[in-house]
Chains A and B, each alone.
Chain A
Amino acid sequence: MLNPISHAFRKAKQENRAALLTYTVAGDSSKKQSLEILKSISANADILEVGIPHNTPVADGSQIQTSAYRAIKNGIKMNDIFKIIKDFKKSNKNKPIILMGYFNMILQYGEKKFLNKCNSSGVNGLIVVDLPWPENKDFAKKCKKKSIYFIQLLSPTTTKRRLKKIIRDSHPMNYFISMLSTTGGKLKVSPNDILKNYNKIKKIDPKKEIVIGFGITEKTIGKLKSADGLVVGSAICKEISKSLKHRQNPVINVSKLVKKLKSKIL
């Protein structure tokens, strides 16, 4: 069976558009609410990235950090995250879910147990921020055996030689980090330059899907829409924080934002 992630890309291509990927932190601002947000945004998002909150994140900017600390403070545990995904999948069986986090959380849960749980709860892909290639070779193989995509990260600092090796070993989807930044930084490179880099990577193996992430907002997403897929994370986390601050319903506001994001890439 085709991984729902590949299916989502195929569908977006048929509609002649980029796939929209969202990132939200599991348990932000509560277990119940984060599930509601996933359900609500799934109407417009093609692939849902779900963040495993971690308290020493070395690659996340302030927006995602705030969401992660909020979720941890509200008591989210690894098993709760799997439960949220399982509950989501009950009503959205074919909507692909990518779990994204730091390797220590997987290590402490136990690699094998973690992958089994990913399988049973319906996780389709994994992004492990601090498990780069070639350190991730073993783990990526284990993912493949479970039919889970291990998504490689590629950065503007990744050398051409290294890009080729990573892509050769990669699964059908990869993630290009738009610029030198933690998540949610202000876009300091022009969308044109980002796309230039993206096209160079895409040429190495055109069959592999490449999404672009980091620093993408409502304002910039439209200019990048020729990519296979675009990820918006910090802007959504920011919307949750803003809603909470103004005592508004994050579910409604985030859904509106995702709808708007979608409209910009149509």
Chain B
Amino acid sequence: MKIKKKIPLIDQANKLGFWGGKFGGNYVPETLKKPIEDLEILFDKLKNDKKFIAERDKYFKNWVGTPTRFIKLKNLTNHVGGAQIWSKVVSDANGGAHKIYNATVHCLLAKRSGKKFIIGDTGAGYAGKMLSMAAKKFGLKCKIFMGAKDIARQQPNVKAMKKNGAEVIPVYSGSQTLVDAVSECMRFWVANCDTAAMCVGSTVGPAIFVRICGWSTSQISRELKVQLIDEFGSVPKKLKLYNCVGGGSSSFGFWNEFMDYDKKQCEFIGVEAGGPAKSKKHAAPLTYGSKIGILHGAVQYVNQNSDGQIEETESISAGLDYPGISPLHCFLKDTKRARYTAASDEDALSAYKTVTKFEKLRPSLEPSHAFSVAIKEAKKLSKDTIVVVNSCGDAYKDRGILKKRLGKKYVKSN
């Protein structure tokens, strides 16, 4: 299994949609074969169409807001001692997280295909919030599927979705989290694929959704590359890119432009959600050696029992609370291009405390997982090493959890 150079990773899947001949694919009901094929044809045409790219870039620039900041965390660097710690503040993007890129592209595609109605899943609520924003912007009707447990713990985003005119459908099956929301959204699409467009909220699902999402979030690393060259004159000799990994959309987008660099120069570190320190449940299939299986149409490493039933996950972070992982990350793991590790709920909370103590930055619980590992590792690294953490979400949505776990003083109003 090998990564090819000079070909975008999203285009390295074979005819049946498998990366490395093994991960991904299209394990879908027959009914979805046609709508998926239609979307493939549309996307393959448009992703090389200059007009379409110009349209995407126009919305990214004027509406999403590009580029998001690339800043040095001076106080944190001084406190930690070791490598220079920087952050790509993707939460600057309109709506407060990277999910806006994928949502915007899906709405543009839906418009092109003549669909007037778009559906999507959400865990932390960001994918749903952004899809509701983009749907409103482009005049599409919108329906968001969200686990009942997540609705309870991510209220600010639920309110935002409703305010944008989206219908939020609570999902009560299974663990009532992201995995069930994705299943329910796919089921709805099976029954309504003639009128509705579907947006999968991360680099998961049937291969075409993995590709569209990866193509969209790659905006992050396109910006970062320019910003690094502006700052250092070239891509640094020792660069380490830390990103949390749930489904894997922000991390893939954060790394994509650096794929062809030697990993000794640009190392990718993916941080999964290890769950509560005392619990056996987690959302870290790559770190804890989960078996390969099929979830939501794609072959991937996935938490499951010996029979093949998907196991419940547990994480403080709704955005990472997913039993599987993008086929792209499975491919990056098996080719050893990226390294994966996990941070516990407690690690993430502690990192949140540290970052907010020293910097004017409020990473949500998802990137707090990445900060936790970055801070630990930066200590041991040389001063000429550039550590960059993708702060891909803002903590506003987590205020309820932060207040409960850390106390009132960690929750600022805005």
One of A98-106, A116-124, A202-210, A217-225 contacting the partner: A98-106
**What would 15 more interface pairs be, CB under 8 Å, given A157-B194, A158-B33?**
A55-B174, A56-B179, A58-B187, A60-B187, A77-B307, A78-B307, A108-B291, A130-B27, A130-B294, A130-B297, A135-B25, A156-B31, A157-B33, A180-B192, A181-B190
- Decide: A157 near B27, CB < 8 A? Known: A58-B187, A77-B307, A181-B191: no
Contact string against B for A residues 104-134, beta-carbon threshold 8 Å, 1 for contact and 0 otherwise: 1111110000000000000000000111111
Q: Report Cα–Cα, A129/B296, bound state, in Å.
A: 12
Most buried by A among B28, B187, B192, B291: B187
Q: Report Cα–Cα, A13/B164, bound state, in Å.
A: 57
Say yes or no: A130 contacts B293, CB within 8 Å: no
Find residues 181-210 in chain A having any chain B CB closer than 8 Å to their own CB.
181-182, 185
Q: Report Cα–Cα, A107/B191, bound state, in Å.
A: 27
Say yes or no: A180 contacts B186, CB within 8 Å: no
A153 interfacial contact with B, CB 8 Å: yes
- Decide: A135 near B16, CB < 8 A? Known: A54-B308, A54-B309: yes
Binding site for B on A (CB under 8 A): 54-61, 65, 69, 72, 77-78, 102-109, 129-135, 152-159, 162, 177, 180-182, 185
Nearest chain A residue, comparing its CB with the CB of B324: A56
Interchain pairs with CB closer than 8 A, number: 115
Query: Which of B31, B33, B186, B294 touches A102 (beta carbons < 8 Å)?
Result: B294
Say yes or no: A72 contacts B30, CB within 8 Å: no
Say yes or no: A103 contacts B30, CB within 8 Å: no
Which chain A residues border B304 with CB–CB below 8 Å? 104, 108
Which chain A residues border B33 with CB–CB below 8 Å? 132, 155, 157-158, 162
Which chain A residues border B194 with CB–CB below 8 Å? 157, 180
Say yes or no: A107 contacts B308, CB within 8 Å: yes
What are 28 pairs between A and B in contact, CB < 8 Å?
A55-B174, A55-B309, A56-B296, A58-B297, A69-B173, A69-B174, A104-B308, A106-B308, A107-B293, A109-B308, A132-B26, A132-B30, A134-B16, A135-B16, A135-B27, A153-B30, A154-B30, A155-B30, A155-B31, A157-B31, A157-B33, A157-B35, A158-B30, A158-B33, A162-B33, A182-B187, A182-B190, A185-B191
Query: Could you tell me the distance in whole angstroms from the C-beta of B75 to the nearest C-beta in chain A?
Result: 44
Which chain A residues border B31 with CB–CB below 8 Å? 59, 155-157, 177, 180
